[in-house]
Amino acid sequence: MIDYGLTHDGRLIHDQVEVRQTYGMHLNHLESRRKECMEGNLSPSAQRVQDALKSAGFENKVIELPQTTRSAAEAAQAISCTVAQIAKSLVFRTGTSRRALLVIASGANRVNEKRFAALIGEAIERPDADFVRQQTGFAIGGVPPIGHAVPLETYIDEDLQQYMDIWAAAGTPVAIFHLTPDQLISMTGGRVINVK
């Protein structure tokens, strides 16, 4: 993993101390916002993600924000990070076997569907919202990398590996959690690939 990051305005940070200070400020800011936004319990879907994290042995904390984080751009704006640090969950359906596949891509990247289909050896398609909810247990815009209704074959964008900190959806369009790329791989068992 490359040990550098970007500030929320896209400036490259090379110094490890500056990285920790910058992201520490972001985390402190988000923790105070979480306390402002969430007096009481998480919504049921966000709580399911929190419970799945805990059951899997992870201490990551789900937070709910007052504004939507449905798109990568909205999430990045809400938490003051770059779009590339958002780990967006995309569900695909295979054309022949009709199984669900989860691709967790950097928010800055578009999945090259032809390349991905060649990698898995089968045509793929974008499923409807009902299929996504049936397979994951969550609505589009809130699909987390963990806690799905059924186990999903998962692929992870290699571009996420360059960041110290990334953010993923946590069950609703306003719920997110902070994690590292290594935690993402560990919690999903996902295969790291080039999605572009």
pLDDT-wise least confident of 65-74, 96-105, 127-136, 145-154: 65-74
Please tell me the predicted confidence (pLDDT) of residue 11. 47
Does the structure show a pLDDT above 80 at 137?
yes
Distance CA(173)–CA(72), nearest Å, equals 11
Model confidence at 24: pLDDT above 90:
no
Domain boundaries, the chain: 5-193
What is the tens place of the pLDDT at every residue in 27-43? 665 565 555 444 458 99
pLDDT category, 1, cuts 50, 70, 90?
very low
Q: For the whole model, what pTM was predicted?
A: 0.82
- Percent of the chain that is helix, strand, coil (3-state, to 5): 40, 20, 40
The per-residue pLDDT for range 12-22, each reduced to its tens digit, is: 444 445 545 55
Looking at residue 41, its pLDDT comes to: 84
Mean pLDDT over all residues of the chain? Answer: 87
Q: Specify whether the CB–CB gap between 148 and 135 falls below 8 A.
A: yes
| Of residues 63, 139, 75, the one with CA closest to residue 106 | 75
Class of domain 5-193: alpha beta
More confident residue, 33 or 81: 81
Reduced to 3 states (helix: H, G, I; strand: E, B; else coil), residue 173 is: coil
The CA distances from residue 105 to 38, 44, 60, 81, 156, in Å, are 28, 25, 20, 16, 6
- What pLDDT is recorded for position 69? 84
Written as one letter, the residue type at 74 is: E
